[in-house]
Structure 1
Amino acid sequence: MKFAQLSVRSLLLSALVFSVSGCNAEADPLDQLQPAKTMAEYRAMSEQLYKLDQAAVKAEAKAAGLDKPPKPKKAKRFGFDAQKAATDSDFFTTPEGRQIAENLLTFQTPSGGWSKRTDMGVPRPQGYQYGTEKSYVPTFDNLATSTQFWVMANACNSLGEARYCDSATRALKYILIAQYPNGGWPQTFPLRGKYHDYITYNDTAITSLLAIVAAAANDDARLKFVPQALREQAQDSLQRALEMVAATQVEVQGKPAIWGAQHDAETFAPSAARAFEPVALATSESADLVLFLMSLEQPPAHIQKSIDDAKDWFEKHRIDGLRYRRDGKLPSLVPEEDADPLWARFYDIDSDRPIFGDRDGKVYFDVDEVSEERRRGYAWYTEQPYKVIKQYRKWQE
């Protein structure tokens, strides 16, 4: 069924029923949607899913006797050991593990995703918002949604209870619906405007989604609960995503290099985000992306070339004999003969030199010129591309 054939009223009614009844497949509004074929369809679906989430929260608050939906507690990440919950199947046999799984059910939005910087170590009170940010929107930033997906998949496999399997399945539907028709993903969905709408490699947002989509598309044993129809959607999603990856690889002087932290959702041009994140080549995000591409069993020829070109760029720009010290003192580069190679976080596309941003929007070619607050609060150098170089030989074999 195409989105254009659905009424806003039917979606909202489904959302209200779903928010009260939990993971009830019969009431799930996502069952009525398919990935958009055009940007006009996509934006319309985004708008209606935003209304769906907001209407569900307001209805909950009214039923709970609240004047307006309060915000839950903040957390640096999610308020629980997400790494353990996403990887340790035995964790869910403990009371703590089962409680975390139950908590995540209460924080999953009617549209299917989760928020960031929200304490999910406790259940969401009835009528409260799903996240702590102003006008919350489910997001892929800071590993949100991708983390919760794997937690719920792990709970499903460990406990075999339908509500956890249904939650992970809904999250996969949400991820597939959130994909742009051209194969990219925004930082948040529904859309919220500005840099949040860019195709976002920053903080491994897209790479973490690609890992999920590839697992579903390639019949990963961890996702045996995913319906066949959704697996087929994931196969199409993966192919479109790989085409997008190849198309967004930035060329420098006519030769493919690496990727930006974010790209325009329609032109694919590398774009700036926050004031201290200028238009640039982004080494850490590009390395994470290449590591994912190398994990594919049979990457197409143009993706193999993307890997080769990125590896060559990393080799050309490695910095040897220095370590980026972040041990309580003001971060700085210090000599260290045996240090692993470094790369600046950002490189200027035109001059091919490391660049550094600040909250005033200015761009510098020397990290020592950046304000102390941004030097301490942002990782301006990274060793992540070294993983690509070390793994490249094994990948070639």
Structure 2
Amino acid sequence: MEKLFAILLAGVAVLPIPAAAQVIAINQPAQTLSEGRISTLPDAAQAPWRAYLLRSEAQRRADRAALAAELAPGQPAPPPPQAFGGGEKSMPLDRDAKWYASAEARHMADTIVSFQTPAGGWSKNQNRAGAPRLPGQRFANDAETMVQDPANFDAPQDRFWTFVGTLDNGATTTEMRFLARVAAALPGEAGARYRQSFVDGVRYLLAAQYPNGGWPQIWPLEGGFHDGITFNDDAVAKAAMLLEDVAEEPALRFVPEHLREQAARAVSAGVKVILAAQVRQNGRLAGWPQQIDPLTLEPISARNYEPRSIASAETTDILLFLMRQREATPEIRAAVEGGVAWLKASAVTDHAWTKTPEGRKLIPQPGGGPLWSRNYDVVTGKPIFGDKDRTIHADVNGISVGRRNGYNWWVTNPQHALDAYPSWAKKVSG
């Protein structure tokens, strides 16, 4: 017997399907930021968005032209850099301060500088302990094997020019923090090129910020969900925290004063968009999505198996960022209290997310947890789970084995926010 689900959610299409299949919807792609969409805004709001879009397009053309100019006419380009899992691990940020003056650290810093895009950002998933970029070598990884599938929400417009400047997977902000440590260990002329590269990174973050204070995943823009304001991988919070340090930390005073002033304003705008993006359920503040539409600030989907949702991991990262703010305004306090309450109410106990002969599954386990679903429906508040065929399920055990094994659908890190909350609450109430 088939059951027609009556809930029609923005961003998903609901199908009549067997209830036993536990498929509740079909994921729909996010919209690209475009001139047409900007033209639907009130007249007074259109100018800054139109200027932003034009600046993004001009920067992409300039980036591509700069790369082409590195080669003589007819000269073949070097092979592209190879993909490297865990790029952040090749840029350690926890070493003794003296280590950052070592030959090893300087080699990493030189590689980082060589891969900085003309816009000032960096690509992701690369070994910064490896060889520096060669003239004419692409900034991003090998894309020759990438399948151009129009049904794949993540398919780039140009597979040979994608993620050329991104905040995904900690990119750009991690490179900048590493450079700052090397620059601090090398005062004077020895650290000049690293300081300049850091300053160019600051300019990149300021240029990439949307008029409303958010940051896209990729800049210059590439379209699709990458244009969304991205909380995934802590992208917005990491950008804001870095700029906060630029504005306030004495060690970064080598950044020109006018950029430090712009950084302070950028942080304020970033906090505002974070507060505006918090989802409300039944009139109460809840958590945050993985990403939101840059114009409407509504939750949007990402990859085929990542539906619009309230995301527990992103909520955790944002709560920790807000609790770090020096001034706990009434709006910040309300946001934190609402987010913490939502995490507490959403926790699952007496279960384990574990390997079984049939792949990873959520199974009963007395004393297990607390666990949080990676995604919660923005309307019902119930856990939801996506598959590569765009189906959205109510039960993680009902999705394909490959997707269950390839994604962490149940997480424990929200406990970090709950652990941090009591001392923060005591501090702001005292």
TM-score by length of 1: 0.86
Name which structure has the greater RCO, CA cutoff 8 Å, separation 6+: 2
Cross-structure match for 2:137? 128
Match of 1:355 in 2: 384
Would you say the 8 A contact 2:289–2:310 is kept in 1? yes
Amino acid at match of 2:161: S
- Structure 2: which amino acid aligns with 1:104? I
Counterpart CA distance in 2 for 1:379 and 1:388 is: 19
Pairing partner for 1:155 from 172, 182, 204: 182
| Structure 1 residue matching 2:362: 3-state secondary structure | strand
Could you say which structure has the higher helix fraction?
A: 1
Q: What CA distance in whole angstroms lies between the structure 2 residues aligned with 1:90 and 1:369?
A: 52
Paired residues for 1:1-397 under 5 Å: 38-62=48-72, 66-68=75-77, 70-78=79-87, 81-82=90-91, 84-85=92-93, 88-120=96-128, 121-132=130-141, 133=143, 134-136=160-162, 137-160=164-187, 161-217=191-247, 219-326=248-355, 330-397=359-426
CA distance in 1, matches of 2:331, 2:184: 36
User: In structure 1, how many angstroms separate the alpha carbons of the residues matched to 2:96 and 2:122?
Assistant: 21
Instruction: Give yes or no for contact 1:259–1:281 (8 Å, CA) kept in 2.
Output: yes
The answer to whether the 8 Å contact 1:86/1:151 transfers is: no
- The residue type equivalent to 1:135 in the other structure is W
* One-letter identity of the residue aligned with 1:52: A
SS at match of 2:184: helix
Per-residue deviation, 1:80: 5.5
Q: Are the aligned partners of 1:85 and 1:91 in contact in 2 as well (CA < 8 Å)?
A: no
Q: Is this contact kept in 2: 1:57–1:69, CA < 8 A?
A: no
The CA deviation at 1:264 is 0.4
Are the aligned partners of 2:234 and 2:317 in contact in 1 as well (CA < 8 Å)? yes
- CA–CA separation in structure 1 for the residues paired with 2:424 and 2:373: 25
1:352 CA displacement: 1.2
Contact 1:86/1:154, CA 8 A, preserved across alignment: no
1:145-169 superposed Cα distances (whole Å, 9 cap, x missing partner): 0110101111111112111111111
Cα distance in 1 for partners of 2:283, 2:274 equals 17
Q: Percent of aligned positions with the same letter in both sequences?
A: 34
Distance (whole Å) between structure 1 residues aligned to residue 388 and residue 349 of structure 2 = 29
Aligned partners of 1:159, 1:323: CA distance in 2, in Å?
A: 49
CA drift of 1:92 comes to 2.2
Q: Once the 2 structures are TM-superposed, how far is the Cα of residue 326 of structure 1 from its aligned partner?
A: 5.0
Change (3 A) 1:358 1:125: same
How many pairs align?
359
Whole-angstrom distance in 1 between the partners of 2:135 and 2:202: 25
Which ranges in structure 1 are unaligned for 5 or more consecutive residues? 1-35
How far did 1:329 drift?
7.4
What amino acid is the match of 1:130?
F
Partners of 1:268 and 1:57 in 2: CA distance:
35
Instruction: Tell me how far apart the structure 2 counterparts of residues 264 and 378 of structure 1 sit (CA, whole Å).
Output: 24
Measure, in 1, the Cα distance between the counterparts of 2:410 and 2:250. 37
- What CA distance in whole angstroms lies between the structure 2 residues aligned with 1:147 and 1:365? 36
Task: Work out the CA distance in 2 between the residues paired with 1:209 and 1:280.
Answer: 22
Give the letter for the 1:102 counterpart: D
Q: Deviations over 1:84-126 (max 9, x none)?
A: 2465433323221110011111000110000012333211111
Q: One-letter code of the match for 1:163?
A: R
> Taking structure 1 as reference, are residues 220 and 326 closer, same or farther at Cα in structure 2, changes over 3 Å only?
farther
Is the Cα contact below 8 Å between 2:362 and 2:396 reproduced in 1? no
1:110 partner amino acid:
P
Deviation at 1:69, TM superposition (A): 6.1
3-state SS, counterpart of residue 62 of structure 1: coil
Change (3 A) 1:225 1:368: same
